[in-house]
Structures are given as C-alpha cells and as structure tokens.
Amino acid sequence: MTASILSTLVPEEGINTAGTGIEVINGQNYMRDAKGNLVPLENVKPQHKLEDETVRKIVGFAETLSAQISRFRTHTFADLLSLTALLAQEYNSTKGGRKGNSTFQTIDGCLKVQVQVSDFIDFGPEIQIAKSLIDECLNEWAADTLQGLRP
C-alpha cells in the first residue's frame, strides 16, 4: 500500500504540487513539516504520508462542497429577495419581521425555507475601558481581604 502512496505523491519536477504537499527543489522531493521546515520525502514515515494524503483529499472535497454551498446561498437569497420584492410590488404585502427573519413554505406546508437573521453585537474599545475600571474597583475593594480571595 505504501508503494501506491509514494507513486501518487511523487510528482515530476515542474509540475504543480500544491495538492500533494510535495515540493521539488533541485530535483529532490520534500514535504514541509508543521514548523515549515523542508523534510526529505524519504524521511517522512509512510503512515504520515497516508494521513497527509487522506487529509488533503478530504479537504479538497470540503472546499468543493463549500463553494457549492456558497453558490446555493447566493442564489437562494437572490430568489427570496426577488420574491419579496414581487410580493411587495404586486400585492402590497411584506414577508418577514423587522429584523429580516422570514419563512416561505409550500401550499401544503410540507416544505419550508426559513431565513433567520442573528443580531450582530460589536464590542468596541469602550468595553475594554469599562472592564479595566471594574477591575480597578474590585482590586480596591478586595485590598483588605485575605490573600487567597484577591485576584
């Protein structure tokens, strides 16, 4: 089994090796370790090559699937936005709540698409200032307490 791994991993010089993790430098094959060091291919254990190949294969499928999901979301939101605009224009009707949450369903109620919009809370530098003021107060109040109770 390791022979098939080696044959699929070892590219020819000048071939794009991004998907294999192998870099060809001066005719020698290397793989980068987690620290970024180049390790000669013959020094990489077969089980690590197999694990590397499996992870790269899975991530390749995940990247393709992620791109499909992204396109699906884009088309879905465009379709729902068009439907909402059409309902507003033709029927003077709105769909969804004030935050953007909405539900679309088939007449028989068997299929449903829900759009749920989460609130976005952004903490700015003010929260850090407030935290430091609270910490300062707590330290002053705890100054006379036992050492084990102080922060």
Same domain, residue pair 35 and 71 = yes
Q: Are 14 and 25 contacting, i.e. CB atoms less than 8 angstroms apart?
A: no
Write out the two tokens for 99: 């935050």
Spell out the residues 6+ positions from residue 145 whose beta carbon is closer than 8 angstroms to its own.
none
- On whether both 81 and 133 belong to a single domain, the answer is no
Q: Tokens 């699929």 sit at which residue? A: 8
Are 100 and 28 found together in one domain?
yes
Per residue in 28-46, pLDDT (tens digit) is 999 999 999 999 999 999 9
Overall domain count for the chain: 2
**Residues 86 and 134 both lie in one domain:** no
Q: What is the domain range of residue 13?
A: 2-115
Residues 87 and 30 reside in one and the same domain: yes
Give, as one character, the DSSP assignment of residue 107. Answer: T
Same domain, yes or no, for 77 and 39?
Answer: yes
DSSP state of 64: H
State phi, psi for 147 to the nearest 5 degrees. Answer: -55, -40
- pLDDT tens-place string over residues 69-97: 999 999 999 999 999 999 999 998 877 77
Residues 46 and 14 in one domain: yes
- Shared domain check, 125 and 94: no
128 in the same domain as 91 = no
User: Is residue 66 within 8 Å of 56, Cβ to Cβ?
Assistant: no
Q: Do 55 and 19 fall within a single domain?
A: yes
Which residues are within 8 A (CB) of 96 and not within 5 positions of it... i.e. 6 or more apart? 84, 102, 103, 115
Q: In what order do the strands lie in the sheet with 28-32?
A: 22-25, 28-32, 38-40
Sign, CA torsion 137/143/149/151: positive
Supply the pTM of this predicted model: 0.56
**Residue 30: burial class (beta carbons within 10 Å; 0-12, 13-18, 19+):** buried
Residues 47 and 76 in one domain: yes
Question: What pLDDT digit, counting tens, does each position of 87-128 carry?
Answer: 999 998 877 777 778 999 999 999 999 998 887 777 778 888
Task: Provide the pLDDT confidence category of residue 5 given band limits of 50, 70 and 90.
Answer: very low
28 strand-pairing partners: 25
Whether residue 33 sits in one domain with residue 6: yes
